[in-house]
Amino acid sequence: MNRVTDVSALKEQYDLVVVGAGPAGLSAAATAAELGLSVLLADENPAPGGQIYRAVTTTPVQRREVLGEDYWRGQPIVQRFERSAADYAARTTVWTVGRTELMSGGEGFEVGVSADGQARLIDARHVILATGALERPMPIPGWTLPGVMTAGAAQIALKSAGIVPDGRVVLAGCGPLLYLLASQLQSAGANIVAVLDTTERGNALAAAGALPDFLLSPYLAKGLKLMLAARRKLRFVGGVTGLRAEGEGRVKQVVVERGSARETIACDMLLLHQGVIPNVNMTSAVGCEQVWDEQGHCWAPKLDAWFGASVPGISIAGDGAGIGGAESAALRGEVAALEAARRVGRIDEADRDRRAASVRATLARAMRGRRFLDVLYRPAKAFLAPKDAATVVCRCEEVTAGQLRETTRKLGVQGPNQMKTFLRCGMGPCQGRLCGPTVTEIIAEERGVAPAEVGYYRLRPPVKPVTLGELANLPKTEAAVKAVCR
Amino acid sequence: MFRPMRDPGAPAAAPLRFTFDGAPMTARAGDTVAAALLANGVSVNRHTPVSGAPRGAYCMMGVCFECLVVIDGVGNRQGCLVPLEEGMRIETQRGPRQAEALSQEIGA
């Protein structure tokens, strides 16, 4: 691995540019570099690992049992990448990927990167987007109060900085990550006063059909162990149907509803989580077709058997391709890289297929049991489309659920893009990442149609903010200068 | 907000010094700006442009833009993506990025 800290030191062109240094991106970059491709791996964070293996090479947490053995599985993945000949640009934002005629001839992509206030456009013959997942927004009343964070955020703080929430901590929501975090924070010494579980009672029955598959899955042993351990030591409150964070200037208490029963729990921190969904911002802005995934209740890119997207030359690996977890992410990265190597002419089809066969077998095992988890932890309607009119949905532009519902009804709004023009939802700095799924859900509910019919925001580059100064200072090619100067 | 976990095996390096709205603070070298603020008990790092409501870091992974702060006079910085440096001058971001900060930056 060759660390590149200055964008001007990047090559003009790479065979493969990988975006995102989680397990998928690391494995894809290593696999491709081992096959002789010139590879750039660009990532926003200071160190490799993505979110699941966040700071695995730099974490101050030395007691291995705090983060659990699964976390440390990221080490060999990073080490393999470090042994490869790939270029690695940390703290580097990729803000656009667009089709272009390559300087060296043929079709390819122009990739806009930016680091330390310097932007640059570089060419790539193939691009693998490994931009991962984000936590599904959980818009409850008061979720914008300081002191309310996502469970994932607390986990990142623990992994990367070795810090734990201070004072009385309440966790709320559903899904494996919530229970994992509860057990991690518990062993790191946090004072967890309650875990409020919003899993719908009916889900267990619906998930029963997927149980045989789950029983064969690798999730089983570790998942159940975690949950049982956390349950034994902590106060678990099941069947939660409503949540409200309250406080002046910061969270002071959470009001919990269980059917008609109501309880108020004083707290200093509230950590929310209801599963993870693919982060579609980059893949969508590049023009990759997205489809509604009924099982995961989210949008996910349309992909072929090699994780190729609807735009030829773009592959999507890892949880950004549909939620599969860390183990499957690394394997998907390998498969996508093998196809990239074939496309740029490094290996032939037979070689690609031979190399992919064993990876695919492991991948199939790693994906086992996913359906059971998706169905069991499908969020309840009340937490997907809040009924309380004053609940903020778009955190950036401060647009409420009531405004969204009323605008849908009174103005006959059909989808999120039309909604933007009326309410500005999704037009703040987060570019809809934190409100998009909820806006789709609310419009669908008000119109009485499926989310698939409502659609999602039309996303455009730049997918991350880039300053006018950076754009103005882009190095210009001779052809570009000639085009405007006589 | 947050405190260091008890971990006797953790390497003890010299902390970095920085200021937040003028108040001197220290944090572990290797922390991001957002983590450093949380570890110092800072719960509010910005006020929204729309209503002026107080906000604090929410996702810690570059997605939500709630951790926006002014760093050394430059606004709209995502605190969760910027590693803390010795002597950084960090300030609460009030509303949108301020023109004063911008003009300082371009030397106008």
Average pLDDT over residues A125-154: 98
Give percent above pLDDT 90 in chain A: 84
* Tokens read off for B74: 């430059």
Q: How far apart are CA A77 and CA A30, in angstroms?
A: 9
| pLDDT surpasses 50 at B108 | no
Chain A residues whose beta carbon lies within 8 Å of the beta carbon of residue B36: 161
Give percent above pLDDT 70 in chain B: 88
CA distance A286 to chain B (A): 18
Task: Tell me if domain A137-274+371-376 and domain A385-454 are identical in fold.
Answer: no
- B7 vs B82: which has the higher pLDDT: B82
Chain A residues whose beta carbon lies within 8 Å of the beta carbon of residue B62: 44-45, 464
Chain B contact present for A135, CB below 8 A: yes
CATH superfamily of A385-454: BFD-like [2Fe-2S]-binding domain (1.10.10.1100)
CB pairs under 8 A between A and B: 139
The answer, yes or no, to whether ipTM is higher than 0.85 is: yes
Predicted confidence at residue A109, as pLDDT, reads 97
Report how far apart, in Å, the C-alpha atoms of A176 and of each of A240, A378, A379 are. 17, 12, 13
Please identify, in words, the CATH class of the domain defined by A137-274+371-376. Answer: alpha beta
Place of tokens 């509803």: A257
Predicted confidence at residue B93, as pLDDT, reads 97
**Beta-carbon neighbour count of residue A460 at 10 Å?**
12
State the fold for domain A2-134+277-347: FAD/NAD(P)-binding domain (3.50.50)
Pairing of strands A93-101, A107-115: antiparallel
Confidence of residue A327 (pLDDT cuts 50, 70, 90): very high
- A409 vs A372: which has the higher pLDDT: A409
Q: Are B44 and A145 in contact (CB under 8 A)?
A: no
CA distance A364 to chain B (A): 29
Q: Does the domain made of B16-106 have the CATH classification 3.10.20.440?
A: yes
Top-confidence range, A93-107, A193-207, A300-314 = A300-314
Task: Output the CA torsion sign for A96, A338, A26, A217.
Answer: positive
Average pLDDT over residues A327-333: 97
Predicted confidence at residue A230, as pLDDT, reads 75
Average pLDDT over residues A445-468: 95
**Strand, helix or coil at A429?**
coil
Predicted confidence at residue A486, as pLDDT, reads 66
| pLDDT surpasses 80 at A164 | yes
Predicted confidence at residue B99, as pLDDT, reads 63
Quick: pLDDT tens for A203-261. Answer: 888 888 888 777 777 666 666 676 777 778 899 999 999 999 999 999 999 999 999 99
Q: How far apart are CA A445 and CA A439, in angstroms?
A: 10
| pLDDT surpasses 70 at B100 | no
Residue in B31, B43, B55, B64 to test binding to A, most A beta-carbons within 10 Å: B64
Q: Are A431 and A422 in contact (CB under 8 A)?
A: no
For residue A87, the surrounding DSSP H or E stretch is strand A87-89
Q: Are B75 and B101 in contact (CB under 8 A)?
A: yes
With a CB cutoff of 8 Å and minimum separation 6, the contacts of A264 are A253, A254, A255, A256
Give percent above pLDDT 70 in chain A: 98
Quick: pLDDT tens for A377-398. Answer: 999 999 999 999 999 999 999 9
| CA angle at A389 for the pair A388 and A391, rounded to the nearest 5° | 70
Q: How far apart are CA A230 and CA A224, in angstroms?
A: 10
Helix axes A176-187, A219-233, angle to 10 degrees: 50
Q: How far apart are CA A104 and CA A329, in angstroms?
A: 32
Q: How far apart are CA A63 and CA A51, in angstroms?
A: 19
Average pLDDT score, chain A: 94
Q: Are A181 and A155 in contact (CB under 8 A)?
A: yes
Chain A residues whose beta carbon lies within 8 Å of the beta carbon of residue B32: 46, 160-161
Average pLDDT over residues B71-91: 96
Chain A contact present for B23, CB below 8 A: no
* Tokens read off for A88: 């690695």
| pLDDT surpasses 90 at A478 | no
- Across chain A, which distance is largest between two alpha carbons, in Å? 77
Confidence of residue B105 (pLDDT cuts 50, 70, 90): low
For residue B16, the surrounding DSSP H or E stretch is strand B16-20
Chain B residues whose beta carbon lies within 8 Å of the beta carbon of residue A272: none
Domain ranges of chain A: 2-134+277-347, 137-274+371-376, 385-454
Average pLDDT over residues A52-79: 94
- A254 vs A486: which has the higher pLDDT: A254
With a CB cutoff of 8 Å and minimum separation 6, the contacts of A271 are A148, A149, A150, A151, A153, A154, A165, A169, A170, A171, A172, A181
Radius of gyration of chain A (CA): 23
**Strand, helix or coil at A350?**
helix
Q: How far apart are CA A430 and CA A425, in angstroms?
A: 10
Average pLDDT over residues A286-314: 96
Domain ranges of chain B: 16-106
Average pLDDT over residues B14-40: 97
| CA angle at B12 for the pair A48 and B10, rounded to the nearest 5° | 60
Q: How far apart are CA A73 and CA A181, in angstroms?
A: 17
Quick: pLDDT tens for B39-74. Answer: 999 999 999 999 999 999 999 999 999 999 999 999
Chain A residues whose beta carbon lies within 8 Å of the beta carbon of residue B48: 396, 398
Q: How far apart are CA A229 and CA A184, in angstroms?
A: 11
Look at residues A82, A103, A76 and name the one whose alpha carbon lies nearest to residue A33: A82
Backbone φ and ψ of B34, nearest 5°? -65, -40
Predicted confidence at residue A204, as pLDDT, reads 84
| pLDDT surpasses 70 at A94 | yes
**Strand, helix or coil at B64?**
coil
Chain B contact present for A151, CB below 8 A: no
Average pLDDT over residues A311-328: 96
**Beta-carbon neighbour count of residue A267 at 10 Å?**
27
The DSSP letter of residue A473 is: T
| CA angle at A270 for the pair A269 and A273, rounded to the nearest 5° | 145
